[in-house]
């Protein structure tokens, strides 16, 4: 019996999510570091290049998300201005140092970064710089893809090798997951779905850790609910001058 392509994709996503959530130790560790950071009034820094920049936006100014998030979102590394150009920029060594200008990371902070291939210099150097500052580095990557390619960084390292903890999104080499007979290219990328789920799982766990300690973290509500908007206004007033882009 023919299985419709969307059903095949649903199955692929389900299998990858199941594998991803078996990384319980990594999820718990990342959540503990974030809880510790929030408790000590540190910051959750986050970034990503190409489509992975969406992982940074996923946890920034998000309903149900922490208020103490500082995203490093650089338009040339995103897709809305020059998509193909962003591919070239993420391969530039030294560019990450420019991105970190104006940010002072420290031991109270964590740095969350996503990269499917984990091979390009900007992501690798951002992780290295964050580690050098004393921040804990948590990454989400496609381990199978990353191990199948060479690093584009002069050190020869890949993102998972410069992380304090990394989580695998269990994606395919090349990200797309569904093939068609007679068609040369797979379709249906999975890294965004699985990556977002892992990020949210980590943050939910971090909230649970804090509440068990009797600590009520600052969390954004939905700005499209009457009560939520009033609560968010207080957080925006508090952090507007401290968070670029808020």
In order, the DSSP letters of 173-227 are TTBEEE--TT-SS-EEE-HHHHHHHHHHHHHHHHHHHHHHTT----B---TTSHH
pLDDT for the residue numbered 243 = 95
Inter-axis angle of helices 5-20 and 191-212, nearest 10: 40
d(CA 188, CA 195) in angstroms, rounded, equals: 14
User: Which residues neighbour 42 within 8 Å (Cβ) at sequence distance 6 or greater?
Assistant: 36, 68, 106, 107, 108, 109, 110
pLDDT for the residue numbered 83 = 84
d(CA 196, CA 168) in angstroms, rounded, equals: 12
Instruction: State the pairing for strand pair 187-189/44-48.
Output: unpaired
Element (H, E) at 139: strand 136-141
pLDDT in tens, the chain (246 residues): 889 999 999 999 999 999 999 999 999 999 999 999 999 999 999 998 889 888 899 999 999 999 999 999 988 788 888 888 889 989 989 999 999 998 999 999 999 999 999 999 999 999 999 999 999 999 999 999 999 999 999 999 999 999 999 999 999 999 999 999 999 999 999 999 999 999 999 999 999 999 999 999 999 998 888 777 888 999 999 999 999 999
Token digits of residue 103? 């940010």
Element (H, E) at 35: helix 24-39
d(CA 212, CA 204) in angstroms, rounded, equals: 13
d(CA 194, CA 209) in angstroms, rounded, equals: 23
d(CA 49, CA 152) in angstroms, rounded, equals: 15
User: Which residues neighbour 130 within 8 Å (Cβ) at sequence distance 6 or greater?
Assistant: 45, 105, 109, 111, 113, 137
Residue 83: Cβ within 10 Å count: 11
Q: Count Cα neighbours of 87 within 13 Å in the Cβ-side half-sphere.
A: 3
Domains and CATH numbers, the chain: 5-239 (3.40.50.10490)
pLDDT for the residue numbered 76 = 77
pLDDT for the residue numbered 224 = 85
Cβ atoms of residues 52 and 73 within 8 Å: no
pTM here?
A: 0.94
């Amino acid at each position: 019996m023919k299985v419709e392509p969307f059903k095949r994709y649903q199955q692929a996503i389900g299998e990858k999510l199941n594998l991803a959530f078996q990384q319980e130790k990594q999820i718990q560790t990342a959540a503990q570091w974030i809880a510790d950071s929030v408790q000590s009034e540190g910051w959750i820094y986050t970034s990503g290049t190409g489509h992975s920049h969406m992982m940074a936006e996923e946890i920034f100014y998000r309903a149900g998300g922490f208020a103490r998030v500082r995203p490093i979102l650089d338009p040339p590394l995103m897709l809305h201005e020059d998509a193909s150009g962003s591919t070239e920029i993420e391969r530039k060594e030294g560019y990450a140092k420019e991105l970190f200008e104006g940010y002072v990371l420290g031991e109270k902070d964590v740095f969350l970064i996503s990269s499917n291939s984990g091979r390009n210099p900007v992501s690798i150097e951002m992780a290295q710089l964050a580690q050098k500052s004393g921040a804990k580095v948590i990454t989400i990557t496609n381990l199978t893809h990353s191990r199948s390619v060479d690093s584009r960084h002069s050190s020869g390292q890949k993102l998972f090798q410069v992380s304090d903890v990394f989580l695998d999104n269990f994606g395919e080499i090349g990200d797309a997951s569904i093939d068609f007979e007679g068609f040369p290219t797979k379709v249906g990328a999975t890294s965004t779905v699985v990556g977002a789920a892992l990020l949210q799982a980590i943050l939910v766990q971090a909230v649970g850790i804090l509440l068990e300690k009797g600590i009520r973290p600052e969390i954004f509500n939905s700005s499209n609910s009457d009560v939520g908007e009033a609560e968010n206004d207080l957080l925006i007033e508090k952090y507007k001058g401290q968070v670029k882009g808020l």
